[in-house]
Every structure is written in structure tokens, then in C-alpha cells.
Structure 1
Amino acid sequence: MSTPSRLGRYAVRRRIGAGGFATVWLAYDEELDSLVAVKVLADNWSEDHHVRQRFVEEGRFLRKVESPHVVPVYDAGQLEDGRPYLVMAYADQGNLVDRLDLSQLPLGQAIAVVRQVGSGLQALHQRGVLHRDVKPANVLFRTVDGEVRAMVGDLGLGKAMEASSRLTMIGGTPSYVSPEQARGEPLDERSDQYSLGALAYLLVGGRPPYSHASIAAATSPLPPAPLDPRLPAGVEAAIVRAMAPAREDRWPTIATFLSVLGEAVADHPHAHADGPEAWIPADPELTQPGPRPSTPYTMPQLGSQPEEPVPPRRRWPRLVVAMLAAVALVAGALGGVFVARRTAPDASMSDASGALSVTVPRAWDAVRSTKTWKPPGQDSRFPALAAGSVSAWTDPEEEGEGVFVGLMPGDGLPTTVPGHPECPGDGTRTDDVRDGDPLVTVVWTGCPGVVVERVVQVTPSRLLWVQVRSTSQAEAYRVLDSVRTHGI
């Protein structure tokens, strides 16, 4: 998607992120001299009445709530093409996934985040709204008067309690969704309490309570693994009760849960904090008058080092997380120096950090890169590697074979992966769990040859993305199965 110069009266700075139904842009309100986030319904869903209504309802739900811990909506409108948009507060410190990528929060800050998220959920409940998708990516951080404040955001699955008291659409994130929601049963605020408990488990334990590969796996969860015994007495009991499979066994209210959790850490010397400290520096250029166009994502070919942006060769499907969609164009974003290596029947290679490795046929080792790459929308670089028989092996018009392997942020597997227009059909998708890691694999044949996309949840906040293009399906699988991570 190209960057618009304006959305309504708001000057666009850059894209913050995108999902299956909407794109969020960082924009500048010139009249009020303020940064805002503008969420725009994806154009391929603009004619879908149900999706459009759900998008508009999110703004109405958020507008009902007056809480410092719920993302506020300032404005709403329609673009010239009829798509609705919402203008919200800009979370200048990213989300909880971003923060946990740096390190685990100290106990006091972790408890403070749980309290603030819980406060936001209570405010929603008081207005008769269930969130229904509490997870790290939906916990946003914003700097207010020098302090970092946690806010609940993204009510894409939010429902009025009156509607949720009847059978509702099954949705949510497998590792955080309540069992009753996974089963499609009537819901009440104890469903959000379960998700808050799972979030608390992640924050104080350093890992999610579960790694469910599907919603079905969340219908009857086993007790989560024990937390660190060095935690203050009562912390684990409070969290485990909030996550009780039967809602009748949970705390009566979120307020009760937060109170008991607070009492459990009351005497801990490091358990008191207002919240995490700011970790993303302010960018004063964002508030300069007039739009500042952002550079389009570039796709240089393997073996080249262009100094100017190169437009993507083709438009990818819209129904996909934009960051992941760009990754599937793979190797070109790596840059770096590539060398010829043709001395062994197979070639094993690792990235510069040693975190990733893969074994490829000798012919695929004509050009390679082992340097880091920067996923779209990210300021940090991540381990990656690529190898190909020709520099343009990702181009379907070239007779090339190759593989890309890269790490990137992500707290859940994508619901869809980028398509390949040169391949007939939608591909064959397989969801699986290997060595405890959930993964999804999509295979296209007749491309000519075969293209395989695989995404693996290797840590709670890291995805491993692999693309293989080959003339032989057996060869593609052999290379795919040789991919390894190390020290992750």
C-alpha cells in the first residue's frame, strides 16, 4: 500500500502497522498540533457490511469509555472512497510485544501493567463492553506527562455484553482466549479476566501460559506450568485462579483479582512502580508542519546494493498482516555482500549472529547473504539469511531457486500468508506443532515448480519466516526441514 499524503485533515507521517481488516497510520493534526493514530478500514473490506459495521462499532465502544487506560478515540470520518476511519491517541511507546522484545519487565513494572490493563478492562465493562481479545499486541503504551501509561486497544472483537450474553462468533488469540469463548459459549466479564490472568502470567513468568496452535486447543486447557518459586507467595495462586478453566472458579471480579494480586506483592521490596520507563525516544521531526512522505519498502534483488528505493514488482494480497506480507518478498531486503560458493554437494550456512542455519543444494549457493534485515514498520534489525541460484530467485519470471530465513516480531501466527499469483489456487495450508512450536505451512504447486511459506512461533514474541522456491517439491521440503534456530 502506498503512503497517502493526507487522511481527511490529517497529514500522514508513516504507517504504524496493518492487519487483515485495517491499516493504522501515524498522522499529524496540524490544527491542534498533535500526533494521532488514524485507523482506516482496508479497501477490500469496504463493501462488506458486517466488517464495516464491526469497524465502526469499535469506535463507538471506545468513545463510550473515559479511562486513561483505554485508547481514546478523538474523531471519525470517511475517506473520499467511502472507507471509514478512526482517529485515536498515538501510542508512542509501542505495544507490549515491542517492550518484551527488549527484556522481561521487573516485577513491580509487570504488576503495574497488569493493574493498568485491568483498570482499562473494568472501564469497558462498566460501559457494558467486553474486549474479547486481550493479548500483548493489544496492550499499548503512551507517554503522558513524562510517564509511560498502559492502555487497552483494538476492540476489533469487542462486543456489547448484551450481545455477548448469547452465543457469539468464536474468535480471539489461542494462548489468551478463555475456554468458554473458544467454545463459542455466552460470555461475561470473567472471560476478559481469564485473558488478563494469562497476560499476568506472561509478565511475571517471562513466558505465555500456553502455546496453543488453534482456538480448538484452548477449549479445555490443562493447568499452566508452575511459575518461578522465588516470586512472592500468593502471586501464582492469584493468577492461576484468574485462569481457572471454569469461570465459576475465577475471582468474582477483575477488581478482586487485582486487589489479591496487589496484596501478594505488598511486602516485596521491588514490587511498587508506576509502570515501565520510556524506551523509544521522541522524534521531533514528526511534528514539523506539512506531510513528510515515508520511503516505500524496497525490494532490491539478491546480490545487489541499490542506494535508491526500488518499487515492489507486484502488488500482494490485501488480506494479510502487512509486515509479514512484505517479508514474503524475502531476500531482497537483506542487502550486504554476496559471494559465489560452488565447492560442495550441499552447502550449510548460518547468519552472522549464529541464530539461524540452513542447508541448501550447491546450485542454490551461487549468491548468499548472512546479514541482518529490517522488517517493514520496524526500527530494529533481526537475524536473517538467504541463498539462491540467481540473484532474482524470488521473481517468478526468473528461473531461479532459493530460500529465505528470517526472524521478526510477532506474538501469534498469521491467519493468512501472502499469495503467489503465478501459482494456481490458494495453496494447501497445514497447521502443526513441532518441538512445542506452533507453525503454519502453505504449499503452492504448478508455479512452475513449488513455493513453500512457513511461519513458526519460536518464542512468545518472535516469528521465524521461511520461504522456499524450487523446481522440485522434494528438494523444497528437504531445505525447509533443514532450517534451524540456535540459542532462541
Structure 2
Amino acid sequence: MSLPTMIGRYRVLRRLGAGAFATVWLAEDDVLDSLVAIKVLADNWAHHPDVRARFEQEAQVLRRADSERLVRVHDFGELPDGRPYQVMTYAAGGTLADRLESGPLPIGTTVRIATDIAEAVTVLHQSGVLHRDLKPSNVLFDTVRGVERVLVADLGLAKSIAQASGFTVAAGTPGYMAPEQRLPGGGLDERADVHAIGAMTYQMLTGRTPALRAPITPSKLRPGIPRQLDRVVMRAIDADRSRRFPTAAAFAAALDVPPKTRRIRHASWVVLPLAALTTTAGATVPGGTPPGWVRVADRTGTISVSVPEQWALQLRDSGWETPAGERPGLRVSADLADSDAPGVFAGLFTESAGPTPPSHGNCTRLPERRVVAAGRTGVAQRWTGCEAAYTEVLLDGVYLQITQVDGTDRTDDVLRTLRLDHS
């Protein structure tokens, strides 16, 4: 297809992509000095009344919803040859499909993106519309004032929820469409879109779409995924829609992640192998953090440590109870309610009242070795052969327990990030 010079008043720069029904061009709006994406209906479909009507309906739905979570339509027009076009938001960050080409995403990133998608689809549902074709290529990324945001696009198959019981043609994309979408006249509701969001979440976690029948739990394909997240995803993709989340909003709430900028969430207290840690506002600390890791600190800033991003879903930061009283400490984990989830506990203690290491049941105890961290010397004791591997580190006045599940021992990497501040 040759590159057009102008589409309406917009100066065309290059082609962004093409599908069965339309081509999308990157163009510049010289009047408003901004980049836009222009979707032009293909010539061979432009004169089909039903396809043309669907193209116009897509623009109307997006315009009516008018949300920052959806691609916005700024203009609509017709080329001299009769082909209609939509002028839309240009999302410079590419698509979720682009990012999945490199494999699974970090767990925290997956939860954030899945939550944003669910919230965007909630806007559609509140506008009375089912998307019906949610998939990674229809999830776009843009950055506004330094904050990345997720946009849902391509409502070519969108239909009114009020008409859902009368759909007579099966529509959607295999791998993401709900079982009921494969049955003409099956009657659809919001739960069809919930299934698609769940399937994308599954793919972000594992690198593959769920099997049509009896899908494998994500954590069996990727150790370290919290059990709670397993349950949420498997419920969303349940073949029986009566067991799925009733709405996209309910799915987003089940993920239980604060919006946008935070990957660490809080929950009620739990009893750890060593102590009970109370809940307070967590803090991230800059500096000394390897790429792909997250630095966290206790509430006072006395002790901090970095961990892989996929471990940093939950944080307790307000200290721990030692025989000598409460001392600075933190616990960061993929799932605080699961003692076998990957994560780190780190706390200070007084020499006269040190911690009593917990029992690790039938785990195999490896030989002790000397370690140095934060200017202090001590010993590290590793336990393997159980559901999770544990390393206990006893330094001068500092205790750490590192839980790992993927067979890789990151003890030394974690210890190199340990920081203590007694100022």
C-alpha cells in the first residue's frame, strides 16, 4: 500500500500497522502540533454497509465513553474515494503484544497492567458496551507527564450489553475469547470480557495463553507466583461463567493493587516464622538497587534491602517483636500470607536477646558459611529440599531470612544491597 501524503488536514508520516479491515497511519496535526493515529477502513470493505456501520459505531462508542483509559477519537472524516477514517490518540509506547514477544512480564508489572485493563473495560461496561475482542494487540501504552498509562483500543467488535442476548455470530480471538463466545446465540455479558482480561493476565505471567480445557495453574509454569494471584486468574478464566468474577471491576478489586505508581500493597497482620509484623505505610528507597530489583525500607529508614521486582508485591515495614522489645524490621514478599512465597525478612536485634531460628521441618540443612554485609560479619545457613529454599543470615545484631522458590540462590545478591542507618 502506497504512503498517502495527507489524510484530511493531517500530514502522514508512516504506517503503524494493518489488519483485515483497516490500516493505521501515524500522522501529524500541524494545526495543533501533535501526533495522531489515523485508522482508515480498507477499500475492499468501505462499500459494505454493515462493515462501514460497525466502523462508525466504534468511533461513536469511543467518543461517548471519552475516558483517559480508552483510545480517544478526536475526529472522523471521509477520503475522496469514500473510505471513512478515525483520528485517534497516538500511543507511543506500543502494544502489550509487543512486550510479550520477549516472554513473561514481572509479576508486579503484570498485576498493574491487568488492573489498568480491567478498570478501562469497566468504563466501557458502564457505558453499556461489551468489547468482545480484548487481546494484547488491543492494549496500548502511552506516557503522560512521566507516568505510563494503559489504553484499551479497537472496538470493532464491540456491542451493546442490552443486545447481548441476541448475538447470532460467534466473534473474538482464539486464546482470549470466552467459551460462550464460540456459540452463536449463547448470550453474552460482562463476564466474557472478564475471561479475556484473565487470559491476558495468564499470558503476562506465563508467556502463553491458557489451554481451552483444564488450563494449568500459572504458578506450576512459573514458580514464585503468589497463590492468591493464582486463584484470581483461574477464577477469571473459568469455563463456567457463573464461577467467574461478575464484572471487570470485581476482577480489578480482587487483584488489590494501588493505582499506577505503587507495586507494593498492604494487608492485615500475619504471624511470621519469627515474629508478628504490624502494618503501616511502606517506603521505597533509592540507590544501590540492581536493575529489575526494588529497594524497600522499614518505617524508620534504619534498615533497607533490595529484592527482585516479582518478590515485591507486599510489605510489612513497622518492625518486629524481639525478646528485648520492638526493633526495626521489615518483611517484603510476593505473598505475605504464604510463608513459602519468595521474599526477605530483615530485622535488628540486641546481642543479649537474639532471635531463635525457626524449624524448617524436613528441609535439608547445608553447611554454614561466613558472610559479610553492611560492614558486619556473620554466618549464612541454607535449607533446601522443601517447597521453598530458605537462607538464614545472622550478622552482628542483624537477622535475615531469605525465601526462594526457583532454584537460584540470590543470598549474596540480597546481602550486597543491605543498608543500615543508625544516624
TM range (shorter): 0.5 to 0.7
In structure 2, what is the equivalent of residue 16 of structure 1? Answer: 16
Matching residue's letter, 1:161? I
Q: Is 1:254 paired with 2:255?
A: no
In structure 1, what is the equivalent of residue 68 of structure 2? Answer: 68
CA distance in 2 between partners of 1:20 and 1:253 (Å): 30
CA distance in 1 between partners of 2:235 and 2:102 (Å): 29
In structure 1, what is the equivalent of residue 207 of structure 2? Answer: 206
- Write out aligned runs for 1:19-418 (5 A): 19-184=19-184, 185-210=186-211, 221-228=212-219, 229-262=223-256, 266=265, 269-271=311-313
**Displacement after TM superposition at 1:69 (Å):** 1.5
Instruction: Select the structure that is richer in strand.
Output: 2
**Displacement after TM superposition at 1:263 (Å):** 6.7
Rg larger in structure: 2
CA distance in 2 between partners of 1:12 and 1:165 (Å): 41
CA contact (8 A) 2:35 2:90 kept: yes
CA distance in 2 between partners of 1:127 and 1:110 (Å): 26
DSSP 3-state at the match of 1:45: coil
Runs of 4+ in structure 1 deviating by more than 6 angstroms, as ranges, are none
Alignment deviations for residues 126-169 of structure 1 (CA, whole Å, 9 cap, x no partner): 00110000111111111211222111101111111122231332
CA distance in 2 between partners of 1:58 and 1:169 (Å): 18
CA contact (8 A) 1:27 1:36 kept: yes
CA contact (8 A) 1:109 1:271 kept: no
The change in CA–CA distance for 1:77 and 1:103 in structure 2 (over 3 A counts) is same
Matching residue's letter, 1:6? M
**Displacement after TM superposition at 1:103 (Å):** 4.5
CA distance in 2 between partners of 1:240 and 1:38 (Å): 37
CA contact (8 A) 1:66 1:123 kept: no
**Displacement after TM superposition at 1:269 (Å):** 4.9
DSSP 3-state at the match of 1:57: helix
Matching residue's letter, 2:228? G
**Displacement after TM superposition at 1:223 (Å):** 2.0
CA contact (8 A) 1:3 1:14 kept: yes
**Displacement after TM superposition at 1:176 (Å):** 0.4
**Displacement after TM superposition at 1:208 (Å):** 1.4
CA distance in 1 between partners of 2:207 and 2:312 (Å): 17
User: With structure 1 as the length reference, what TM-score do the two structures score?
Assistant: 0.52
CA distance in 2 between partners of 1:204 and 1:222 (Å): 19
The change in CA–CA distance for 1:36 and 1:243 in structure 2 (over 3 A counts) is same
DSSP 3-state at the match of 2:85: strand
CA distance in 1 between partners of 2:215 and 2:157 (Å): 25
Equivalent pairs counted in the alignment come to: 262
CA distance in 2 between partners of 1:224 and 1:266 (Å): 28
CA distance in 1 between partners of 2:66 and 2:47 (Å): 31
CA distance in 2 between partners of 1:93 and 1:250 (Å): 31
CA distance in 2 between partners of 1:225 and 1:57 (Å): 38
Alignment deviations for residues 257-293 of structure 1 (CA, whole Å, 9 cap, x no partner): 2212227984585238xxxxxxxxxxxxxxxxxxxxx
The change in CA–CA distance for 1:179 and 1:103 in structure 2 (over 3 A counts) is closer
CA distance in 2 between partners of 1:209 and 1:124 (Å): 25
Matching residue's letter, 1:155? L
CA distance in 2 between partners of 1:37 and 1:263 (Å): 31
DSSP 3-state at the match of 1:252: coil
The change in CA–CA distance for 1:204 and 1:266 in structure 2 (over 3 A counts) is farther
CA distance in 1 between partners of 2:168 and 2:160 (Å): 11
**What percent identity do the matched residue pairs reach?**
46
- What's the RMSD between the two structures over aligned residues? 1.8
Alignment deviations for residues 183-228 of structure 1 (CA, whole Å, 9 cap, x no partner): 1211111110011111111112222113xxxxxxxxxx31211212
**Displacement after TM superposition at 1:100 (Å):** 1.7
Matching residue's letter, 1:230? G
CA distance in 1 between partners of 2:28 and 2:159 (Å): 30
The change in CA–CA distance for 1:127 and 1:246 in structure 2 (over 3 A counts) is same
User: With structure 2 as the length reference, what TM-score do the two structures score?
Assistant: 0.60
DSSP 3-state at the match of 2:232: helix
**Displacement after TM superposition at 1:28 (Å):** 0.2
**Displacement after TM superposition at 1:91 (Å):** 1.4
Structure number with greater CO (CA < 8 Å, separation at least 6) is 1
Gaps of 5+ in 2: 259-263, 267-309, 315-423
CA distance in 2 between partners of 1:10 and 1:271 (Å): 44
CA contact (8 A) 1:111 1:271 kept: no
Alignment deviations for residues 40-75 of structure 1 (CA, whole Å, 9 cap, x no partner): 010111111011111111101111113222111111
CA contact (8 A) 2:111 2:257 kept: no
CA contact (8 A) 1:9 1:29 kept: yes
CA distance in 1 between partners of 2:52 and 2:134 (Å): 22
